[in-house]
Amino acid sequence: MLHARLLRYIDEVARRGSIRKAAAHLNIASTAINRQIIAYEEELGTQIFERLPRSVRPTAAGEVLLQHIRNTLKEHDRAHAEIAALQGLRGGSVAIATFENLAANLMPQVSQAFRRSHPRIQVNVFSVFRQQLPQGLASGEYDLALGYNISSTPGSSVLHEFETRLGAVVAADHPLAAEPVVRLSDCTAYPIIVGNETMSIYGIIHDAFAQANLIFRPQIVSNSVSFMKHLARRQEGVTFMTPVDIAEEAARGELVYVPIRDRVVRPQPLSLIYRKNGTLNSAVSRLAEEIRIELRAQLA
């Protein structure tokens, strides 16, 4: 097996796309990193990086090596976490991938509670797109993934699942905010703000409008949840999210979640998943339990 230090050098160079940037991040002389990589390429008999004028990129051989390196580093970190737990040090790290809105509205509370009990465990939260989950779980880059409608992600198993439902989300002083429930037809009196076709919410709302015999003609479409919430706060229209998505804004009195009466809006399962046939070390299990507790509280 390659020396652990060289593994991390190669991985960092690939991530940064530059030996100089990797060296600055690692606080190591770039010449030292370059020298070790060249020596290993000579030993291997092939280049692992293609040198460009201002950057480097992995060759085909380098991509194969990087997959091995990242798997090895992840397993190395897992082993250290398990050893630390056995020694009562409560050390190690855990990585979770989730969507932008959940990273902003759920994970801060989870992380805060988790850090109080486990201050020596490093928590890594990645905001990702749905299509990044299979590869990230398979490679071991993520220990857990949390998101809507992800229970069928290839190579994953479901650890916990919660039922959530989309509702109309409006500013606190919006006319619909005072209603206990609304119909989809009530929402059409205002500009509709919705996620674009890369987001599962688009298909859900599109189908719901069709089943309710309503014309689906959104005025604003975006792949940014933050942007959509910002518009809703400014009374620019009605958007559709779950209570979890606006927990922070609702607590501050900025946004209101109003349930939709129409049953054509199907539930959105919120799932916590992990790598199929993978093992859950103590740090990962503890974070998963903290997420379960927080979601039960928010969805009660």
Domain shared by 194 and 58, yes or no: no
What's residue 60's pLDDT? 93
Q: Please give the full DSSP string across 210-226, using - where no structure is assigned.
A: HHTT-----SEEES-HH
**Beta strands at 220-222 and 255-259: parallel, antiparallel or unpaired:** unpaired
Domain shared by 255 and 290, yes or no: no
Domain shared by 154 and 195, yes or no: no
Domain shared by 276 and 158, yes or no: yes
Domain assignment of residue 248, yes or no: yes
Residue 178 three-state SS: helix
Domain shared by 152 and 289, yes or no: yes
Domain shared by 152 and 275, yes or no: yes
Domain count, the chain: 3
Domain shared by 58 and 190, yes or no: no
Domain assignment of residue 61, yes or no: yes
Q: In whole angstroms, how large is the CA radius of gyration of the chain?
A: 23
pLDDT truncated to tens, each residue of the chain (300 aa)? Answer: 447 788 889 999 999 999 999 988 888 889 989 999 999 999 999 999 999 988 999 999 999 999 888 888 877 777 766 666 555 445 678 999 999 889 988 999 999 999 888 888 889 999 998 889 999 998 889 999 999 999 999 989 999 999 999 999 999 999 999 999 999 999 999 999 999 998 888 999 999 999 999 999 999 999 999 999 999 999 999 999 999 999 889 999 999 999 998 888 888 899 999 988 777 777 888 899 999 999 988 887
What residue numbers bound the domain in which 156 lies?
Answer: 90-162+270-299
What's residue 91's pLDDT? 63
Confirm if 259 and 181 have CB atoms less than 8 A apart: yes
**Model pTM above 0.85:** no
CATH number, domain with residue 234: 3.40.190.10
